[in-house]
Amino acid sequence: MSGRVVGLVLVLLAGVLMVVWSPPSAIIDVPPSQKEAGDGSGVSKTSDIPEFYDVAPEDIPSGTPGFVIKTEKIEPGPGEKAYEGIDLYRVMYHSTTITGDDIPVTALYAQPSGEAPEAGFPLIGYAHGTTGAARQCATSLTPYDDKTPAGSQFTRKIQPLVEQGWAVVATDYQGMGPKVTPMYLLGDAEGRNILDSIRAVQGWRDNLDHSRTALYGHSQGGQAVLFASEIQAEYAPDVYINGVTSLAPALIPAWPAAMKALVEDPGGTNRTYFVMTFLGTWVENYPWLSQEEVFSEKGIKDLPKVGELCSDQLRNYFQDRGIIADYVNIPFAKDALRAIDLNTAGNRPLNHPLLLVQGMEDVVVINQATPEYFSILCQQGDVNAKLELYPQDDHGSVVINARDSVDEWIEARFEREPVPDNCPNKWGG
């Protein structure tokens, strides 16, 4: 395990058992807005999968990562209302798996209606939070229906960004939409999908300002944009990124004792579906990781639900069926810990300015992991990072209360203003 991760995993252990420390930071003391349970809150149905997503491998034109396969404009369905001043499209493009295999991935593209500014629209590479890992959980499926995962994401997260005058491309991630191997919290795969979605729309649309591109992610997406920043210089050096905003990132503990404390926590059943989903999809992406070494008999029996349900439905299924330890083998297998370490952000330096945001009443992710990750970044000495902690906000409400600060930070990066940095203990080496 890398030295950069040691501090993170130690605080995760402390965070599961007791809050013991967090570094100095910008504490934003604001009243909490309406509490929202998270990305999937309010989702009561999933969608049929349109023909757009059904594509046979032999029908996919060859192309490099980011090359567009096809697009279509999304129109409201029966009983659905269009969003005034916003145009929506589906985009299918080439991306790659963690082993470099070519796959089709889809994304939602949203832009303000009408003519773009002379230089083009700034672009947000948006990484969505947890909606599930199944095909029918994709963000680009039904953005006009707020009772679906796609609509819930759009109205809460994407629409406010477009209303700033920015275009947004929101990858669905590998396995959501087109029928390929699913994944969840698979950091390098998420990062590739994000970067390739940016390549795709920048190659497809002629009204985008390629010098103004930022990444935005919450929860699962908060982890995803960190990995996108880590791999960008090597994987997509042609993609220019002004800055990265990560809200309540899903940081996974990579230390055996921390994971054991997490999965045996009797109050942690709201996280069961997260663990089932990331471990369940990892066994499909890592040939050296098997179901039998990761899951108990109960876990193997219920694992198919990960491929059937989305958002609230998936969370509710696992909520009252036992603690996480009922589903996974304890102690964790060596290969499972190896996979967790590979998907823990912080093993590599970031390549871009960062705004890191966390609500300290968050019980969906481990809230103490975020300030500790920030501390690790500061110790690297070569990143401009700002941490904002919202003491009264939870996983959903922090998105609302941080919105003005996030928008202002992104706009400042587009304008090349000096990057704010509140690292308390930065040093080189």
Q: 13 pLDDT exceeds 80?
A: no
pLDDT of residue 269: 64
Please choose, from the candidates 104, 177, 151, 132, the residue with its C-alpha nearest in 3D space to the C-alpha of residue 307. Answer: 132
In the predicted structure, residue 138 carries a pLDDT above the cut 70: yes
Residues 37 and 96 reside in one and the same domain: yes
Average pLDDT of the chain is 87
Provide CB contacts within 8 A for 241, sequence distance 6+: 125, 213, 214, 215, 229, 232, 351, 352
Tens digit of pLDDT for each residue in 357-369? 999 999 888 888 8
Looking at the domain assignment, is residue 260 inside a domain? no
The answer on pLDDT for 32 being more than 80 is: no
Return the CATH number at 30.
3.40.50.1820
Q: For the chain, how big is the Rg over CA atoms in Å?
A: 20
Question: Per-residue pLDDT for 125 more than 50?
Answer: yes
- Answer yes or no: do 356 and 309 share one domain: no
To which H or E segment does residue 217 belong?
strand 208-218
* Boundary residue ending a domain (273, 300, 327): 327
Contacts of 302 (CB under 8 A, 6+ apart): 276, 317, 318, 321, 327
- Note whether 377 and 286 are same-domain residues: no
Burial call 256-273: b when 16+ CB within 10 Å, e when fewer: bebbbbbbeeeebbebbb
Average pLDDT over residues 22-28: 52
Q: Which domain holds residue 288?
A: 265-327
Residue 23 pLDDT grade (very low, low, confident, very high; cuts 50, 70, 90) = very low
- Show the CA angle centred on residue 33, arms to residues 28 and 34, nearest 5°: 150
Cβ 74 vs Cβ 89: under 8 Å:
yes
Whether residue 258 is contained in a domain is answered as no
378 lies in some domain = yes
Phi, psi of 331 (to 5 degrees): -70, 160
Structure confidence at residue 2 as a pLDDT band (50, 70, 90)? very low
Domain count within the chain? 2
In a domain, 221, yes or no: yes
Backbone angles phi, psi at 124, to 5 degrees: -105, 120
Same domain, 8 and 56: yes
241/273 same-domain check: no
The two three-digit tokens of residue 20, written as one number: 């013991």
Task: For residue 135, give the nearest of 66, 75, 184, 188 by alpha carbon.
Answer: 184
Name the residue among 369, 359, 280, 372 with its Cα closest to residue 324: 280
- Asked if residues 323 and 272 have their Cβ atoms less than 8 Å apart, the reply is yes
Look at 262 and 184; give whichever has higher pLDDT. Answer: 184
Inter-residue contact 185 to 175 (CB < 8 Å): no
Q: Which of 145-159, 178-192, 195-209 has the lowest mean pLDDT?
A: 145-159
**Predicted pLDDT of residue 78:** 86
Q: Is residue 428 part of a domain?
A: no
Q: What confidence tens digit (pLDDT) does each residue in 337-358 have?
A: 999 999 999 888 898 999 999 9
Residue 161 and residue 215 in one domain: yes
DSSP three-state, residue 306: helix
- pLDDT number for residue 12: 38
236 & 277 share domain: no
Are 111 and 209 contacting, i.e. CB atoms less than 8 angstroms apart?
no
When pLDDT is cut at 50, 70 and 90, the band that residue 181 belongs to is very high
Together in a domain, 276 and 219: no
Interatomic CA distance for residues 124 and 386, integer angstroms:
19
* 112 pLDDT more than 50: yes
Provide mean pLDDT across the span 248-277: 74
pLDDT band at residue 79 using 50, 70 and 90 as cut-offs: confident
Residue 405 lies in a domain: yes
**Helices vs strands, H then E, count in the chain:** 14, 10
At which of 289, 305, 327 does a domain end? 327
Rounded-to-integer distance, Cα 386 and Cα 355, Å: 5
Higher pLDDT, 328 or 311: 328
Determine the 3-state secondary structure of 254 from DSSP.
coil
Instruction: Name the nearest CA neighbour of 81 among 162, 176, 161, 154.
Output: 154
Residues 49, 166, single domain; the answer is yes
Q: Quick one: pLDDT at residue 184?
A: 97
If we measure between CA atoms, which residue out of 110, 157, 111, 109 comes closest to residue 131? 157
Domain assignment of residue 426, yes or no: no
421 is a domain residue = no
Asked whether residue 98 carries a pLDDT value surpassing 80, the answer given is: yes
Q: What percent of the chain has pLDDT over 70?
A: 85
Count Cβ atoms within 10 A of the Cβ of residue 180 and give its class: 0-12 exposed, 13-18 middle, 19 or more buried: middle
Quick one: three-class SS letters along 78-133? Answer: CCCCCCCCEEEEEEEEEEECCCCCEEEEEEEEEEECCCCCCCCEEEEEEECCCCCC
